[in-house]
């Protein structure tokens, strides 16, 4: 029975020990069938994605490969963002990968090199190489097993809201099947090894053969095999053969089922990271030739793009996006995870219900603050926000049903050029007495100051504009305001009104092009984002900075020298449109340190890329917030939690939301809300 030939004096792999020859053939036939079933399923998926609109975006290849390696292979986000589930995933993923790789190497050893080279002379899996090969496989098998147990405990013991929650229990059974089968495969793999190692010493002694199999290299199997070393040989062999048969059946069925279950994320999620959007994260897709479109946004399956269909398939239902969502966090109807899961069901005809009104309630869509928390949190590069915006476009432009009162606001944007419904003529009143010039087409300026509607009309935000003017004047910057400035309607775009946005953009880009300036500066992150990331879609390429970037430059270049002041404990609230949208986190903190905030600069638990939205983005500033808890109150609670006496921000809308939150929580007197420009201007 000792039929694993090894070169003299070397240990080698006891492949197919105790397995009858006919089962060896059966397992190869089963393996080929499983591979074919897997490939057919994958081919069906690709065919499904190809039904979507648009063409697969392959380039630029170097960037795509780089993001695939970091997100798809190294699974950076999975590991870094949530440590325990991250390590659990790492254990399962690399454990299973190494076991698969080990099986592939063993197949080469047995079926390719053995028939070609006399195995008593040379084997691929022999000597030291086999020794370490076996150590590595045992260790990674153990990692996989631990990962699977942790997954089971999280999924069915801890039961975090993000895993079940809004999408209900409908995937409970599939998840159980997957965790159960993976656990069964790894566990029975170890049992087979333990039974073999328990039997082989007895068998070798009986046959008076040299011991050519390795014992101590089975770092998990060998010690455990000693526990059953006394069991008689026939029993061990029968148990080994029985376990091997069941193990192979489950392994082959699971391999074939990869393409048809959540296990497909092994391939599909990884592919999705390769195709992740490469355009600026903050830029919404332009509706080309809008005048001649008959329908807008998405209301039917055939209107999704190939990338959206791929997104829906790539979702692992991990719920990280739901955890990051301010709307879900405050018990509103929206869960970005649920949107994607429901669209997966629509895409695969698991429901025949209409997308709008039946599968998705409009309230879910209007709850979104476009904070991009979900996109940032998703470990497999799904663009939940892009899909939500397409649905909003349908509601607003095709059905003519934007959520009130935003329709009134959009009307004001169109007629009065501002969302407040105030007279056009009042736009520049805030500048009275400040010696701020209007731009003149014949003069070249250091910066054109784009004030934005809040900075121009909102009494609180006007203070920020004035503070910033004081800073620019102290720095002796040559700046001007554009007389033709009007609302850029970026919030209308995010409410789905692309038509209004494009109309305003065409007008503004044309106006801006009349003037000579090195850069545009704005105190509003929303204006900043749309000018820097979206105007290039309309032939408007401008060098744009946010006022905090400019102030930081002025301090670094010593063009202004603010006094170091002490404002007590201070914290900084990241604006989504500066932070997650444009990756600008540091200038604001550098300015606060320049103002003397060092040890007393504290970070909230949710800060930088994980910062919590104020609740005002995506047009939510113009909508009622009648469901769940108010998002701005939740954010002020974060400020209270770090005992800050001042919360600094860099967005007029954030300041407004924080002001309201502070009043609602009765901390109006205790916590000052200040824009960075105000703090600097006070220190000049
Ligand atoms: S963009 Fe923000 S509010 Fe909208 S679904 Fe994503 S996380 Fe939620
Ligand atoms: S969309 Fe992304 S983050 Fe959300 S559940 Fe799916 S995989 Fe997880």
- Res. 254: pLDDT tops 90: yes
pLDDT of residue 166: 66
Our answer on whether the CB atom of 374 is closer than 6 Å to any ligand 1 atom is yes
- Res. 40: pLDDT tops 80: yes
Which residues are 546's β-sheet partners? Answer: 522
Convert the pLDDT of each residue in 393-415 to its tens digit: 999 999 998 888 888 999 999 99
Decide: 338 and 634 in contact? Cβ < 8 Å. no
Q: How confident is the model at residue 202 (pLDDT cuts 50, 70, 90)?
A: confident
Report the distance separating Cα 496 and Cα 392, nearest Å. Answer: 5
pLDDT of residue 174: 87
CA dihedral defined by 670, 649, 492, 610, rounded to 10 degrees?
-100
pLDDT of residue 403: 87
Closest ligand to Cα 577: 1
pLDDT of residue 547: 98
Q: Which fold has domain 409-556?
A: Rossmann fold (3.40.50)
Tell me what the mean pLDDT of segment 658-679 comes to: 97
Convert the pLDDT of each residue in 66-101 to its tens digit: 999 999 999 999 988 889 999 999 999 999 999 999
Q: Token pair 């079933």 is at which residue?
A: 37
Q: How confident is the model at residue 240 (pLDDT cuts 50, 70, 90)?
A: very high
Decide: 657 and 635 in contact? Cβ < 8 Å. yes
pLDDT of residue 8: 85
pLDDT of residue 526: 98
Our answer on whether the CB atom of 315 is closer than 6 Å to any ligand 2 atom is yes
95 CA to centre of ligand 1 in angstroms: 34
Q: What percent of the chain has pLDDT over 70?
A: 98
Report the distance separating Cα 524 and Cα 485, nearest Å. Answer: 14
- Identify the H or E element spanning 33: helix 21-50
Our answer on whether the CB atom of 377 is closer than 6 Å to any ligand 2 atom is yes
pLDDT of residue 557: 97
Report the distance separating Cα 263 and Cα 316, nearest Å. Answer: 9
Report the distance separating Cα 214 and Cα 124, nearest Å. Answer: 15
- Res. 233: pLDDT tops 60: yes
- Identify the H or E element spanning 98: helix 83-107
Our answer on whether the CB atom of 319 is closer than 6 Å to any ligand 2 atom is yes
- Res. 649: pLDDT tops 70: yes
Report the distance separating Cα 652 and Cα 621, nearest Å. Answer: 11
pLDDT of residue 79: 87
Pick the range with the lowest mean pLDDT from 39-43, 96-100, 123-127, 518-522. Answer: 123-127
pLDDT of residue 305: 97
Q: Are strands 479-481 and 444-450 parallel, antiparallel or unpaired?
A: parallel
pLDDT of residue 276: 95
Tally the residues of the chain.
Answer: 684
Same fold, 290-398 and 409-556: no
pLDDT of residue 211: 67
Convert the pLDDT of each residue in 448-497 to its tens digit: 999 999 999 999 999 999 999 999 999 999 999 999 999 999 999 999 99
162 CA to centre of ligand 2 in angstroms: 10
Pocket probe mutation, ligand 1, options 323, 371, 621, max atoms within 8 Å of Cβ: 371
322 CA to centre of ligand 2 in angstroms: 8
263 CA to centre of ligand 1 in angstroms: 26
Could you state, in order of their start, the residue ranges of all structural domains in the chain?
Answer: 21-49+95-272, 290-398, 409-556, 570-682
Closest ligand to Cα 328: 1
Pick the range with the lowest mean pLDDT from 31-40, 591-600, 604-613. Answer: 591-600
Convert the pLDDT of each residue in 600-631 to its tens digit: 999 999 999 999 999 999 999 999 999 999 99
pLDDT of residue 96: 96
Report the distance separating Cα 436 and Cα 480, nearest Å. Answer: 6
Our answer on whether the CB atom of 655 is closer than 6 Å to any ligand 1 atom is no
Convert the pLDDT of each residue in 335-348 to its tens digit: 999 999 999 999 99
Q: How confident is the model at residue 280 (pLDDT cuts 50, 70, 90)?
A: very high
Our answer on whether the CB atom of 272 is closer than 6 Å to any ligand 2 atom is no
Our answer on whether the CB atom of 486 is closer than 6 Å to any ligand 2 atom is no
Q: Which fold has domain 290-398?
A: Fumarate Reductase Iron-sulfur Protein; Chain B, domain 2 (1.10.1060)
Between residues 458 and 216, the one the model is more confident about = 458
Tell me what the mean pLDDT of segment 414-441 comes to: 97
Nearest CA to 135 among 72, 220, 49?
220
Nearest CA to ligand 1 atom 4: 368
Nearest CA to ligand 1 atom 7: 325
73 CA to centre of ligand 1 in angstroms: 26
Pocket probe mutation, ligand 2, options 316, 338, 379, max atoms within 8 Å of Cβ: 316
Our answer on whether the CB atom of 384 is closer than 6 Å to any ligand 1 atom is yes
């Amino acid at each position: 029975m000792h039929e694993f030939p090894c070169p003299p004096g070397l240990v080698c792999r006891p492949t197919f020990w105790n397995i009858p020859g006919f089962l060896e053939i059966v397992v190869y036939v089963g393996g080929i069938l499983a591979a074919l079933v897997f490939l057919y399923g994958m081919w069906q998926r690709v065919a499904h994605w190809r039904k979507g609109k648009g063409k697969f975006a392959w380039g630029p290849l170097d960037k795509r490969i780089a993001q695939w390696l970091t997100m798809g292979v190294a699974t950076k986000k999975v590991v870094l963002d949530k440590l325990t589930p991250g390590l659990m995933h790492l254990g399962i993923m690399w454990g299973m990968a190494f076991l698969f790789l080990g099986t592939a190497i063993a197949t080469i050893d047995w079926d390719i090199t053995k028939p070609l080279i006399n195995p008593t002379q040379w084997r691929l899996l022999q000597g030291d190489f086999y020794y370490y090969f076996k150590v590595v496989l045992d260790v990674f098998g153990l990692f996989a097993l631990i990962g699977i147990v942790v997954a089971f405990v999280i999924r069915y013991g801890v039961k975090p809201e993000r895993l079940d929650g809004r999408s209900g229990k409908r995937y409970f059974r599939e998840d159980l099947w997957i965790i159960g089968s993976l656990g069964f495969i790894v566990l029975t793999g170890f049992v087979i090894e333990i039974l073999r190692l328990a039997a082989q010493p007895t068998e070798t002694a009986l046959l008076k053969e040299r011991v050519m199999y390795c014992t101590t290299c089975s770092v998990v199997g060998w010690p455990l095999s000693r526990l059953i070393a006394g069991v008689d040989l026939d029993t061990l062999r029968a148990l080994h053969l029985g376990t091997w048969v069941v193990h192979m059946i489950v392994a082959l069925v699971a391999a074939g089922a990869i393409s048809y279950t959540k296990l497909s994320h092994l391939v599909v999620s990884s592919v999705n990271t390769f195709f992740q959007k490469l355009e600026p994260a903050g830029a919404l897709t332009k509706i080309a030739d809008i005048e001649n479109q008959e329908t807008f946004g998405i209301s039917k399956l055939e209107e999704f793009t190939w990338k959206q269909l791929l997104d829906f398939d790539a979702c692992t239902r991990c719920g990280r996006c739901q955890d990051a969502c301010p709307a879900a966090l405050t018990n509103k109807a929206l869960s970005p995870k649920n949107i994607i899961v429901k669209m997966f069901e629509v895409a695969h005809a698991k429901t025949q219900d209409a997308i709008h009104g039946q599968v998705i309630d409009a309230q879910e869509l209007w709850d979104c603050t476009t904070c991009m928390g979900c996109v940032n949190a998703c470990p497999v590069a799904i663009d939940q926000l892009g899909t939500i915006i397409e649905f909003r476009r349908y509601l607003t432009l095709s059905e003519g049903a934007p959520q009130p009162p935003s329709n009134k606001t959009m009307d004001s944007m169109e007629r009065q050029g501002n969302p407040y419904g105030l007279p056009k003529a009042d736009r520049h009143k805030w500048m009275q007495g400040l010696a701020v010039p209007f731009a003149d087409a014949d003069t070249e300026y250091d910066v054109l100051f784009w004030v934005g509607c809040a900075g121009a009309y909102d009494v609180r935000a006007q203070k920020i504009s004035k503070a910033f003017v004081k800073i620019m004047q102290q720095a002796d910057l040559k700046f001007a305001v554009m007389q033709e400035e009007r609302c850029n309607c970026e919030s209308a775009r995010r409410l789905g009104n692309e038509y209004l946005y494009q109309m305003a953009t065409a007008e503004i880009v044309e106006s801006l092009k009349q003037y000579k300036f090195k850069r545009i500066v704005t105190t509003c992150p929303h204006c900043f984002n749309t000018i820097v990331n979206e105007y290039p879609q309309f032939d408007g390429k401008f060098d744009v900075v946010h006022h905090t970037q400019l102030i930081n430059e002025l301090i670094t270049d010593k063009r202004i020298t603010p006094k170091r002041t002490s404002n007590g404990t201070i914290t900084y609230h990241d604006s989504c449109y500066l932070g997650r949208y444009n990756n600008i986190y540091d200038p604001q903190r550098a300015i606060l340190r320049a103002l003397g905030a060092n040890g007393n600069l504290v970070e909230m638990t949710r800060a930088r890329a994980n910062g919590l939205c104020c609740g005002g983005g995506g047009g939510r500033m113009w909508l009622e917030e009648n469901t769940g808890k108010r998002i701005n109150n939740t954010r002020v609670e974060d400020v209270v939690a770090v005992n800050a006496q001042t919360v600094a921000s860099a967005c007029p809308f954030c300041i407004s939301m924080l002001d309201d939150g502070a009043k609602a929580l009765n901390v109006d007197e205790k916590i000052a809300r200040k824009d960075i420009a105000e703090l600097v201007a006070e220190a000049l």
